[in-house]
Amino acid sequence: MGKPIQALRARRVRATGLALALLAATPAPAQAYIDPGSGALALQALLAGIFGALVLARKTLRDLAARVLRVRRGPSDEGARSAATQGDG
Protein backbone atom coordinates (compact mmCIF):
# COMPACT_ATOMS: atom_id res chain seq x y z
CA MET A 1 0.00 0.00 0.00
CA GLY A 2 2.91 2.33 0.93
CA LYS A 3 4.66 2.05 -2.40
CA PRO A 4 1.81 3.22 -4.70
CA ILE A 5 1.21 6.25 -2.44
CA GLN A 6 4.89 7.08 -2.50
CA ALA A 7 4.95 6.73 -6.29
CA LEU A 8 1.90 9.00 -6.57
CA ARG A 9 3.58 11.63 -4.40
CA ALA A 10 6.73 11.45 -6.45
CA ARG A 11 4.69 11.96 -9.61
CA ARG A 12 2.95 14.96 -8.10
CA VAL A 13 6.27 16.48 -7.15
CA ARG A 14 7.55 15.88 -10.68
CA ALA A 15 4.41 17.33 -12.24
CA THR A 16 4.61 20.40 -10.01
CA GLY A 17 8.27 20.78 -10.83
CA LEU A 18 7.54 20.52 -14.52
CA ALA A 19 4.71 23.07 -14.33
CA LEU A 20 6.95 25.51 -12.48
CA ALA A 21 9.69 24.87 -14.96
CA LEU A 22 7.46 25.62 -17.92
CA LEU A 23 6.21 28.80 -16.27
CA ALA A 24 9.70 29.96 -15.55
CA ALA A 25 10.83 29.13 -19.05
CA THR A 26 8.58 31.77 -20.60
CA PRO A 27 10.56 34.72 -21.84
CA ALA A 28 11.04 37.69 -19.56
CA PRO A 29 8.99 40.73 -20.54
CA ALA A 30 10.92 43.25 -22.59
CA GLN A 31 12.01 46.27 -20.64
CA ALA A 32 10.77 49.34 -22.35
CA TYR A 33 14.06 51.09 -23.05
CA ILE A 34 16.93 49.24 -21.48
CA ASP A 35 18.50 46.54 -23.61
CA PRO A 36 19.07 43.48 -21.41
CA GLY A 37 22.26 42.31 -23.05
CA SER A 38 24.79 42.80 -25.82
CA GLY A 39 25.74 39.19 -26.40
CA ALA A 40 29.18 39.73 -24.88
CA LEU A 41 28.27 37.83 -21.71
CA ALA A 42 26.78 34.96 -23.70
CA LEU A 43 30.07 34.67 -25.56
CA GLN A 44 32.06 34.79 -22.31
CA ALA A 45 29.81 32.11 -20.84
CA LEU A 46 30.28 29.95 -23.92
CA LEU A 47 34.06 30.21 -23.80
CA ALA A 48 34.14 29.64 -20.05
CA GLY A 49 31.82 26.65 -20.53
CA ILE A 50 34.09 25.12 -23.16
CA PHE A 51 37.09 25.62 -20.87
CA GLY A 52 35.20 24.14 -17.92
CA ALA A 53 34.02 21.16 -19.97
CA LEU A 54 37.58 20.47 -21.10
CA VAL A 55 38.82 20.56 -17.52
CA LEU A 56 36.00 18.30 -16.36
CA ALA A 57 36.53 15.83 -19.15
CA ARG A 58 40.33 15.84 -18.89
CA LYS A 59 40.49 12.22 -17.71
CA THR A 60 38.25 11.02 -20.53
CA LEU A 61 40.23 13.08 -23.01
CA ARG A 62 43.51 11.65 -21.69
CA ASP A 63 42.19 8.12 -22.05
CA LEU A 64 40.95 8.87 -25.53
CA ALA A 65 44.24 10.40 -26.56
CA ALA A 66 46.12 7.39 -25.21
CA ARG A 67 43.83 5.02 -27.12
CA VAL A 68 44.28 6.99 -30.36
CA LEU A 69 48.04 6.96 -29.96
CA ARG A 70 47.97 3.22 -29.35
CA VAL A 71 45.94 2.62 -32.51
CA ARG A 72 48.30 4.79 -34.56
CA ARG A 73 51.44 3.04 -33.38
CA GLY A 74 49.87 -0.34 -34.03
CA PRO A 75 50.18 -3.57 -32.00
CA SER A 76 53.52 -4.69 -33.67
CA ASP A 77 55.16 -1.37 -32.81
CA GLU A 78 53.89 -1.78 -29.28
CA GLY A 79 55.25 -5.37 -29.13
CA ALA A 80 58.69 -4.31 -30.47
CA ARG A 81 58.91 -1.54 -27.92
CA SER A 82 57.95 -3.95 -25.19
CA ALA A 83 60.66 -6.39 -26.34
CA ALA A 84 63.25 -3.61 -26.47
CA THR A 85 62.33 -2.57 -22.98
CA GLN A 86 62.76 -6.12 -21.79
CA GLY A 87 66.17 -6.34 -23.56
CA ASP A 88 67.36 -3.20 -21.82
CA GLY A 89 66.58 -4.68 -18.52
Partner 1 sequence: MSSQRAARDLLVCVSLVNLCFLRVWAQLLPGATPVSNLYYMRGPPARLHYVAALLGVALLAGAAWGLGSWARRSGSRGFENAARAGFLGALLLAANAVLDQLPFGLRSALHGNLAAAGVALLALACAGAAAWSLWRRPARLFRVAEGVALALSPFALLTASQAIWTLARHDGHSFGAAVFRSPASASALPARGPGSPRVVWIVFDELEQRAAFSERPPDLVLPAFDRLRSEALFATHAYPPAGDTRLSMAAYLLGLPVERVEPKGVATLACALEGGGGSEDCWEDFPNLFARARDAGFNAAVAGWYHPYCRLFERALTACAWAGLPYWEEESWGDSIGRLWEELLRPVPLVRTWLSPSERSRRAHLRAYREILGAALAMVSDPAIGLALLHFPVPHRPDIFDRQRGVESVEGRNSYLDNLALADRTLAALRRELERGGLWDATTLIVTSDHWWRALNRDGWGLDPEERELLDGRFDKRVPFLVRLPGQTRSQRYEPSFNTLLLHDLVLERLAARLGSPGELVAWLDARRTSLRNPHLQVGTEPRARAGQARIAAGPGF
Binding site for partner 1 (CB under 8 A): 6, 9-10, 13-14, 16-18, 20-30, 32-42, 44-45, 48-49, 51-53, 55-56
C-alpha to C-alpha distance for 51 and 46, rounded to whole angstroms = 9
We find the least distance from the C-beta atom of residue 55 to partner 1, in angstroms, to be 8
- CA dist list (Å): 46 to 5, 15, 40, 55, 68: 43, 31, 10, 14, 28
Q: Which is nearer to partner 1, 29 or 75 (CB)?
A: 29
Q: Which is nearer to partner 1, 1 or 30 (CB)?
A: 30
